[in-house]
Amino acid sequence: MRAGYRFGALEDVWVISDDSTFDSQECDLEEALTHIWGRGIGSILSCVPGKLAYFEGEEVTRLLER
């Protein structure tokens, strides 16, 4: 089982990102993580709307859980 899924993440996530080529689209979770991981661009992956999200910024990453 992939790490994000143990928290209940869906296979497809909604992306909000400073990267305009990737912003405002639905994407496979692993593809989205591969695209933003370690790049230091502001990005949020909505993994379960209103309940679970992943945030990555310039200096911090967080798993946001409600």
- For residue 6, the model assigns a pLDDT of 67
- For residue 55, the model assigns a pLDDT of 94
For the whole model, what pTM was predicted? 0.84
Q: What's the total number of domains in the chain?
A: 1
Neighbour-count burial for 18-44, b at 16+ CB within 10 Å, e otherwise: eeeebeeeebebeebbebbeeeeeebb
- For residue 8, the model assigns a pLDDT of 78
Most confident of 1-5, 6-10, 26-30: 26-30
| SS3 (DSSP) at 4 | helix
Q: What is the pLDDT of residues 16-57, one digit of tens each?
A: 999 999 999 999 999 999 999 888 899 999 999 999 999 999
Domain range holding 13? 3-65
- For residue 1, the model assigns a pLDDT of 40
